[in-house]
Amino acid sequence: MNRIPSGGDVKLKVEYRLTELLVPLPAQITQKENQFVVYDGNAHYASAYPVAQEKTTVKIGSGKVLSATQVAPTNQENERIVYGPYKDQPIFSEKPIKIHYENNAPFVVATVVERLIEVSHWGNIAVEEYIELVHKGAELKGSFSRVDHQLDRRGRRQPALLQFTSILPASAKDIYYRDEIGNISTSVVRLRADSVEVDIKPRYPIFGGWKTSYVLGYNVPSFEYLYNKGNEYALKMRVLDHVFDNIVVEKLTTKIVLPELVRWVSI
């Protein structure tokens, strides 16, 4: 960014993401109930400088709102709650807000991802990921009914993980998807111009408090990721594939297995 002259101005866009911030309330629900969560935040932007004018918008979707803190002026529109505009706010202004609303999104977190990249002498790179998923939303209260699940009119709007899409490199081949029991046949592979999409459907829907684990693997040609200058080689690959949209990974381990007799490795 260029230096700002005295009396000048500049427009900035600051983006940051917070994870595991929403708290399910109630903490347990039955299979037929909707999930409600609580968002705790600030009606103001915590700025180190005085703020001439500000407005905070909280997008909450189309679900039911049980309660929302009022910090005048406050307006609830279609799928959002708008706080402000507020004028002439001092530094680090704070007005705590709490919004209790319906949110049936499955709060699935990858607690463990172990990625193994094995480079072969023979022009191939094998990639395998072991992934553990946990639904950290409202825990399922009572027993699970497969019949009720299939007849649920909410369909994919149930607070459970039914399926998701992983995105692999365009050259991925020999793709496999399995768990502790063995191969899982409920996956669909789609070829795109710049990627391979794998629609993954677990053996059972993942409700709150439930977890699952699986292995996803594939091969890619090494010439797309291995570069050389004389006898020196460089490997350039993703540290993690696209497991599913907006994934949160708590613990990631990436292991790289190089061919025999490799020396002078640097990262």
Residues 56-87 as b or e (16 or more Cβ within 10 Å = b): bebebeebeeeebbebeeeeeeeeebebbebe
Please check whether residues 157 and 214 belong to one and the same domain. yes
Question: What local confidence, expressed as pLDDT, does residue 1 receive?
Answer: 60
Please name the residue ranges forming H helices in 6-136.
Answer: none
Residue 158 sits in a domain whose CATH number is 2.60.40
How many residues does the structure list for the chain? 267
Of 81, 102, 123, the last residue of a domain is 102
Residue 168 sits in the same domain as residue 126 = yes
Record the pTM.
0.87
Tens place of pLDDT per residue across the chain (267 aa): 678 888 888 888 888 888 899 999 999 999 999 999 999 999 999 899 899 999 999 999 988 999 999 999 999 988 999 999 999 999 999 999 999 999 999 999 999 999 999 999 889 999 999 999 999 999 999 998 888 888 888 877 889 999 999 999 999 999 999 988 888 777 899 999 999 999 999 999 999 999 999 999 999 999 999 998 888 888 999 999 999 999 999 999 999 999 887 777 777
Does 232 map to a domain? yes
13 in any annotated domain: no
List the structure tokens of 49. 């400088």
Q: What is the pLDDT of residues 36-85, one digit of tens each?
A: 999 999 999 989 989 999 999 999 998 899 999 999 999 998 899 999 99
50 and 172, same domain (yes or no): no
State the total domains in the chain: 2
Residues 97 and 115 in one domain: no
Q: Which residues partner with 235 through β-bridges?
A: 226
Task: Let me know whether 114 and 98 are in one domain.
Answer: no
Domain that holds residue 42: 36-102
Q: What is the mean pLDDT of the chain?
A: 92
